[in-house]
Structure 1
Amino acid sequence: MSVFDDLAGQDAAIGVLRRAAMDARSGGTGMTHSWLFTGPPGSGRSTAARAFAAALECTGDEAGCGECHGCRTVMAGSHPDVEILASEVTTITVASVRELVSRAQASPTAGAWRVLIIKEADRMLERTTNVLLKAIEEPPPRTVWILCTPSPRDVLTTIRSRCRGLNLVIPSPEKVAELLVRRDGIDPERALVAARAAQSHVGAAKALAADSTVRERRELNLRAAYRVRTTGDAVLAAKELLDRSEEQAKSTGGAREDRDHADLRRSMGLAPGEAIPPAMRSQFKQLADEGKKRETRQKRDAFDRALIDLLSFYRDVLIVQLEAGTDLVNVDFEREISEIADATTAEKTIDILEHIALARERIGANVAPQLALEAMMIALRRG
């Protein structure tokens, strides 16, 4: 057992991190105080960051043994010297980064290192990144910063130049399926189909393989696109995709909203059903505002996942049209893919792919999702 076991298909990166963790013990040159972990969504950036933190806190013979107290507490998220900043909204705030920088000045209390991990560092605005710059440039002794982002270009050059880069690759579907079978006990055939459909995104593959609701939502989205033949079909398909994505966001965040509201009421000493006094309303308003920001983020993520599925579907159509001989991503939709490939041209499919990519950009730029989705679906017509 090792803390690196959940990193599918990342042998080269694991080798770098193992050597760095061992050098951290001996003072070798392979260890540095600032890291930038990059890689496509689903490649395991955050998993690698947590595993590296565990290896640094490890007290076993081999760094990252997975058995010692340091490894187990880091992997469980309870180690006092390892902090993870993750944004549940569209941007990481200056205040949250400033608070993390302040706590980074403290010496480690239980382990050998104080490790600060920022997931999705690309969600920091420039003024937020500037707060972080000096802390990364001159970290206190025994302090390590790990920033996670899809691409080195997602952070300022001044940050990038002060970090050691580690790039994670897209694992093969077979490696992802192997992880799902070993770690989650998923049926091998279902795991491989899910890994291919998720394009080797480990989290998405697990959701597809283990959650029937997620599988049904993907199937409905793809079948709705497949049925688009007229403008009316396109408008209806866009509305259905919009409703499904919003329902997904609500189901994800609804329980969290209720729990946070109940926790705040208890902390304020309010009985269930008791009216909120005027002096406390600002706290509840702040909680509601944070909930709206989380819901916006969750909606965008849901839209993006649906559009990524559509991109993969029409990528498969293009593969068939060009007779490229490459394995299909959506093997469970092979019949529908072949039908569309026979009925349209490669030029049409390329145009569709461009429209789907444009819809992703528009939604990311705060264009009304319904308008962006309708324009995209109209481009799918083949009647």
Structure 2
Amino acid sequence: MSLWDELVGQDHAISLMKEAAIPGSPAMTHAWLITGPPGSGRSTLAHAFAAQIVGAGEDPIAWSQVVKGAHPDVSILATDRVSITIEEVRALVSFSYFSPSQAPYRVVVMEDADRMTDRTSNVLLKALEEPPPQTVWILCAPSPADVLPTIRSRMRSVTLRVPSADEVAQLISQREGVDSAVAALAAREAQCHIGMATRLATDDQARLRRDESVGLVLGLTTVSSAVKAAADLLDIAKADAAALVERHDASEREELLHSLGIAPGGAVPQALRSQLKTLEEDQKRRSTRSLRDAVDRILVDVMSVLRDVVMVQVEAGVELVNEAHRSAISTRAQATTAELTLSALDALAVARKRMAGNSPPLLVLEALLIAMSGRVPSSTP
């Protein structure tokens, strides 16, 4: 299965970018902006396009090198920090000014362009204003509004759509070899986010953590229950974040020590401790982002619960995202009104803005769940 095959529901974008990657194609331009909701396949499309460009088609060696991050003419920035640093962008700009060594182009991929500050974006802007003739920039972001207008005006935009639950389920079933019913349930509960659906279909603990989160939200009755649920949700987010980073951190540390010639359990010489400290600082920043991402995933699950409650209240007659919790959802729908549920959705939007603004996760969750309990009106950001 190639990278193109891992994209679902994006036929127009695939056709456009395959045509642009043909050597000498007039559709090629020096900078591309791929936008779409989380889980739609932005990064996968960017990687596939990069491989198609440097491989001059379907060269298996070039494709393999791009997938492994080992192609000399492709640089991919997939930050695991809260924000992209100015030093990282400067390194990409420097890379872009070198001539390609093997391929017809040098390709620079930035997976989370929305994580650049304005100052960092201005460093990139200078490179886009006077682009090297044999360099292609590919930026990914949730929406065009997430990058500076001066940057997006210099780029060709490609917008991805949300794939259907059936399309996501079919992909997961074929790629992961899971039962079609399990894949369908995961796709629906992940709201068509391919990466999250894959986790839910293949990781029992991830699925249990999600079920627990939904149960906590549906059990809100008082302010005290909201405060307790907020602490419990944060613990779930921490467990989810740890599951994603701890194994990688241990492997990364082991690889560094091995490269430095230090045996497992051996003492680290004074002269080499700075390298280990740098790694630990990077891992701490990654852990911070992982936790914030885990909290946001919970907020998305909360949104799905509120959506289900509204659907029951207005008697929409549609399938629920959280079908397994239909009884509790119906109980909540009867205990409140559609107006109050919509107000809770407004509070949820505020919570996500606060998380994006680096607010303490526990305070964000407490404010949201207290508002959802109906005991106080939701506040503005």
Q: 1:29 to 1:189 in 2, by over 3 A?
A: same
Residue 36 of structure 2 corresponds to which residue in structure 1? 39
CA drift of 1:273 comes to 4.3
Distance 1:68 1:260, change over 3 A: closer
| SS of the residue 1:91 aligns to | coil
The corresponding residue for 1:230 is 222
Sequence identity of aligned pairs in percent? 48
Q: Deviations over 1:238-291 (max 9, x none)?
A: 111111111222232223333333344444444544544554444333322222
Residues 370/132 of structure 1: CA separation in 2 closer, same or farther (3 Å cut): same
Task: Provide the residue aligned with 1:188 in structure 2.
Answer: 180
Q: Tell me which residue corresponds to 1:324.
A: 316
Task: Tell me the amino acid that sits aligned with residue 28 of structure 2.
Answer: M
Matches of 2:151 and 2:317 in 1, distance apart? 42
Q: Which residue of structure 1 lines up, in the alignment, with residue 281 of structure 2?
A: 289
Paired with 1:132 and 1:334, the residues of 2 have a C-alpha distance of 49
Partner-residue secondary structure (3-state), 1:5 = helix
Note the C-alpha offset of 1:46.
Answer: 0.4
Which residue does 1:7 correspond to in 2? 7
Whether the aligned pair in 2 keeps the contact of 1:3 and 1:55 (CA below 8 Å) is: no
Equivalent position to 2:299, from 307, 311, 323: 307
Q: Structure 2 counterpart of 1:337, which letter? A: I
Give the C-alpha shift of residue 69 in structure 1: 2.8
Q: Which residue of 2 aligns with 1:152?
A: 144
Alignment of 1:268-283 (within 5 A): 268-283=260-275
CA contact (8 A) 1:113 1:144 kept: yes
Q: C-alpha separation between the residues in 2 aligned to 1:277 and 1:75?
A: 35
- The answer (yes or no) to whether the contact 1:228–1:382 under 8 Å persists in 2 is no
Equivalents in 2 of 1:342, 1:99: separation in Å?
A: 57
**TM-score when normalising by structure 2:** 0.92
SS in 2 for 1:110: coil
- 1:366 corresponds, among 339, 358, 362, to 358
CA distance in 1, matches of 2:3, 2:200: 24
Structure 2 counterpart of 1:78, from 62, 70, 74: 70
- Distance in 1 separating the partners of 2:350 and 2:374: 19
Distance in 2 of aligned mates of 1:344 and 1:192 = 30
Q: CA deviation at 1:186?
A: 2.0
Give how far 1:370 is off. Answer: 1.6
CA contact (8 A) 2:33 2:141 kept: yes
Taking a change above 3 Å as real, the CA distance of residues 245 and 99 of structure 1, as seen in their structure-2 partners, is: same
| Distance in structure 2 (CA, Å) of the matches to 1:230 and 1:382 | 8
1:88 is aligned to: 80
The 1:136–1:382 alpha-carbon spacing in structure 2 relative to 1, beyond 3 Å, is closer
2:99 aligns with: 107
Q: Aligned in 2, Cα 1:77/1:175: closer, same or farther, shift over 3 Å?
A: same
Count of aligned positions: 375
**After superposition, what is the alpha-carbon deviation per residue over 1:85-105, rounded to whole angstroms, capped at 9, x for unaligned?**
011110111111111211222
Q: Distance in 2 between matches of 1:163 and 1:229?
A: 50
Residues 38 and 149, structure 1, Cα contact 8 Å, conserved in 2: yes
Whether 1:258 and 2:258 are equivalent positions in the alignment is no
For the structure 1 residues 72 and 313, does the alpha-carbon distance in structure 2 shift closer, same or farther, using more than 3 Å as the test? Answer: same
Instruction: Tell me the residue number matched to 1:56.
Output: 53
Matched, 1:165 2:157: yes
Output the amino acid matched with 2:39. G
What residue in structure 2 maps to residue 176 of structure 1?
Answer: 168
> Residue 147 of structure 1 aligns to a residue in which SS?
strand
Q: Distance in 2 between matches of 1:3 and 1:235?
A: 44
**Greater CA deviation, 170-179 or 279-288?**
279-288
SS at match of 1:171: coil
Change in CA separation of 1:328 and 1:265 when aligned onto 2, cut-off 3 Å:
same
Normalized against structure 1, the TM-score is what? 0.91
**Residue 162 (structure 1) shift:** 0.8
Counterpart CA distance in 1 for 2:355 and 2:117 is 19
Q: For 1:35, what is the secondary structure of its paired residue?
A: strand
In 1, the alpha carbon distance for the partners of 2:283 and 2:68 equals: 26
* Matched-pair contact (CA < 8 Å) for 1:104–1:116: yes
Deviation string, structure 1 residues 71-97 (Cα, Å, up to 9, x no partner): 343334332222210111101111111
Contact 1:193 1:332 in 2 (8 A): no
d(CA) in 1 for partners of 2:3, 2:213: 36
TM superposition shift of 1:173: 0.8
- Residue range with higher mean Cα deviation, 366-375 or 212-221: 366-375
Displacement of 1:303:
0.2
Cα 1:261–1:183 change in 2 (3 A) is: closer
Show the counterpart of 2:349: 357
